[in-house]
Amino acid sequence: MLNHSNAMATIAVKDVARARTFYVDQLGLQPLDDGEPGLLTLRSGSSTVLVYPSPYAGSNQATAATWTVGDNIETLVTTLKDKGVAFEHYDLPDTTRQGDIHVSGERKVAWCKDPDGNILCLVNA
């Protein structure tokens, strides 16, 4: 079964070159040369993110990818904001906001969007 297999985030974009600037220069993901023209494969920790062109890019109204970032979420959000990443603010039950970070008990979460509107999540857990 799949419980021993790795999963990959696949994110649709309209312009792969523009997405590369965001995912590599702003988020700091490492591009991998996989020999697939027109696609962008990125390393994120021990995971892979595949960015591919699609006319349906940005049509997902839910989170497309989540990164578990640990206890340094505040520093990471500040660093990304300094690189021009804008964070989303949501009204959620039993949640308060501390700057760009949504807090519910011990859980801290921040959301941003890529240039095509794909929702990306950072969580401390």
Which residue segments constitute the domains of the chain, with CATH numbers given? 2-123 (3.10.180.10)
Q: What is the pLDDT, as a whole number, of residue 6? A: 85
Greatest Cα pair distance in the chain: 46
Segment 19-35, tens digit of pLDDT: 999 999 999 999 998 77
pLDDT band for position 117 (cuts 50, 70, 90) = very high
Query: Is residue 118 within 8 Å of 52, Cβ to Cβ?
Result: no
Q: How far apart are the C-alpha atoms of 39 and 51, rounded to whole Å?
A: 6
d(CA 71, CA 124): 6
More confident residue, 83 or 37: 83
Predicted model pTM: 0.92
Which of the four pLDDT bands, split at 50, 70 and 90, describes residue 107?
very high
Average pLDDT of the residues in 65-71: 95
> What mean pLDDT is predicted for residues 68-85?
96
